[in-house]
Amino acid sequence: MTPKTWQNYKENKPLKSSPLEGIRVLEVCTMLLGPIGPALLAQLGAEVIRCEFPPMGDVTRSLNPFGWFYKDQSPLLLHINQNKYWVGLDLHTSEGQKTFCELAAQCDIVENNFRPGVMESWDIGYRKIREINPGIIFLCKNGYGEWGQYAKENRPSNDGASQALSGYSWMSRWPGQTPLKMRAYIGDNYGGMCAEIAVLAALHYRDRTGKGQFIEFSQTENIMRTMSWVWPYQQIAGKPPEPSGNRDVSICPADTFRSKDGIFVALAASTPEEFKGLCSAMGKPELAEDPRFKDHLTRLKEENALAILKIISDWIRTRRADEIEAIAEQYGFAATHLYTARDLVENQHFEARDFRTEIDDPLYGRYRNYEFPVKMSETPPKTKWSVRPVGFDNEYVMKRFLGKSDAEIRKLYDSGALAKWKDAQGRRPPPGWDGKAGLRTE
C-alpha cells in the first residue's frame, strides 16, 4: 500500500513548485559528463541555457547505439538533456564571447567540461566571468582536473579512459581474465551527479556569504572514490586487492550463482539472522553452527568463504530462479535474479513509482524515459520537455534573458555568433515538424 505522503505523487507533481526555481544555469558542455549535471538541475527547476557550436552542435548528436536514431535524434542526447533552452552560439567569435558574458551576468552557475585552458582561450574563463558576476559559481569538469601532471599534459579523456586510469576496469573482472569496462557510463553519470553536489553546496555558501566560487572536478578521481576500500587497502595493507568477479570479498556469503533454469541469481546473507535463514532454506540449519561459518569474520577467511559459496552454488543449481527469490523472501535473506533490459522495461514496480515515465513532447511525441531518481514530497523533480535542434531557442533566450530586439538578434546572426542547425540527422527537427511545435513565445 502506498504511504499517505506519496499518494497521487505522479498526478500532483505538475501542481507543485520545484526546489531550484529562480536558479539559472549557463551550460557550454559536450558529450555526457558535461550535460548530465545541468539536466539534473533543470529537472529540479533551474532554468538551464545550453550553448552549442552551430550548426553541428554537440558530438553526442552523432553518438547512437548501433547507429539508431529516434525521430532523427540521438537517444543518448534525449536521455541527458531534459528541460533545457537550446542556443547555437559560436564562442570562437568576439560577438559570441560577448553574448556568452552577457548571459553569464544573468546566471547563478556556469558549467563546462572542456580541457584546462579552453574557456580562457575564448576569454570566458572564471576570472573574466567573476569580474562580470562576482557571485558566479563556475564549474569545470574534465577527466583529470584543472591542475596536476595530466592537466599539464593536456590529456584528452572520456568515460572509458577514466575507468581505465582509475583502476575501475582492472577490478571489474574475474581473476586472470581480461579487464572489463562497464558498459554503462558510470564516470559520466555518477560524475555528473557528484559534481552537482558541490554546486548545491556552493549555492548554500553563497546564500550565507554572498560569495561565488570556482569548482573543479576530476572524472577519474570521482570513479576512484566509488571504489570504496580498494585504494586504502593497497596503501595500508601494502598488497593489491585482486579482482574477484561477482563475489563480494567484504561480505560473505554474497555472490552471483546460476540457477537450475540457467538464470543468474544475486544472493547475500551477511547478518547472523540472514545467514541462519539461508542455512535453514537450504535444509542445512547445522551450517550456522559450523566452526567454519559461525560468524561473519570467520566466514570471510578464504578457505571458509570458498566452502560456503560452493555449498550455496550447488543448492541453487537445484532450484529455479523464481523459487530462490520466493524462498529468500520466506527465510529473510536477499536474492534476486539478474534482470535484462527487457525485464526492466516491462517491470511494473518502476512504472508505479513514476520512475519509468512517459514524456509528452511537442516535437518528439510520447516516449518512455527514466525520471529523476529521487522523490521529493513538497518540491518534486519533473521532466517538462525533451531535447531541441541546434539553436532552436535562440530568439527566445536572446529576448527573454537579454532583452535584445529583433534587429540586435539579426546582427548576431549576420556576425556568425548566432546560428541554427544544419540539415542533418541529430541536428535538425524531426520529420514532419510543422515549424511551430515547441517554439516558445511567452
Condensed to tens digits (0 to 9), the pLDDT of residues 346-368 reads 889 988 888 888 889 999 999 88
> What digits encode the pLDDT tens for the residues 265-294?
999 999 999 999 999 999 999 999 999 999
Whole-angstrom distance, CA of residue 320 vs CA of residue 407: 71
Count the neighbouring beta carbons within 10 Å of the beta carbon of residue 299: 21
Longest dimension (CA), the chain: 85
Q: Name the CA radius of gyration of the chain, rounded.
A: 26
Which residues is 28 bridged to in the sheet? 112
pLDDT surpassing 70 at residue 442? no
What is the DSSP track for 366-414?
Answer: EEEEE--S---SSS----------TTTTHHHHHHHHH---HHHHHHHHH
Q: How far, CA to CA in Å, does 131 sit from each of 128, 232, 419?
A: 5, 41, 27
Strands laid side by side in the 84-88 sheet: 84-88, 47-52, 24-28, 109-112, 137-142, 213-218
Cell of 27: 551550460
Kindly list the structural domains of the chain, giving each domain's residue range(s) and its CATH number in brackets, ordered by start: 12-226+378-415 (3.40.50.10540)
Q: What number is the average pLDDT over the span 301-310? A: 97
> What digits encode the pLDDT tens for the residues 207-238?
999 999 999 999 999 988 888 888 788 888 88
Q: Determine contact, residues 212/137, Cβ cutoff 8 Å.
A: yes
* Percent of the chain residues topping a pLDDT of 90: 70
Q: Is the pTM of this model over 0.85?
A: yes
> What is the pLDDT of the chain when averaged over all its residues?
93
> What digits encode the pLDDT tens for the residues 369-418?
888 889 999 999 999 999 999 999 999 999 999 999 999 999 999 999 99
pLDDT surpassing 80 at residue 441? no
Backbone region of residue 416 per phi and psi (left: phi > 0; alpha: psi in -120 to 50; beta: other values): left
pLDDT at 318: 97
Q: What number is the average pLDDT over the span 302-330? A: 97
